Amino acid sequence: MNNGEKTIIAFIMGAALGATLGILFAPDKGSKTRQKIKDEGQRVVDNLEDKINQAKEKLENFKATAEQKVKEYADKAEKKMKEYTEKPVSGNS
């Protein structure tokens, strides 16, 4: 996980904590407060799931690109080896 992802997660968690504290100190009935906390918690979970899915998608794209590049380089290397091994040896006899 890079610093940008850590920052985003920290921001989301901080926002969730701030919203939860704001709800707890708001002058509402207990049932309304619990429902607000539940809704906010679900929103945070949904946001985290979205971020995780985006990260997975990026990782899968990176993996596919890396595999393609490895295949391209392996093919180039194999072609060069064939050229080298099939090249006639010139001698001064």
Q: Are 16 and 44 in contact (CB under 8 A)?
A: yes
pLDDT of residue 62: 94
Model confidence pLDDT, tens digit, residues 25-70: 777 777 887 788 788 888 888 988 898 899 899 999 999 999 999 9
- Predicted confidence at residue 77, as pLDDT, reads 92
CA 25 to mean position of chain CA atoms? 36
In which residue are the tokens 């610093």 written? 3
Which of these, 43, 65, 70, 58, lies nearest to 2 by C-alpha position? 58
Count the neighbouring beta carbons within 10 Å of the beta carbon of residue 28. Answer: 13
Q: Are 86 and 78 in contact (CB under 8 A)?
A: no
Give the span between the Cα atoms of 79 and 91, in whole angstroms: 24
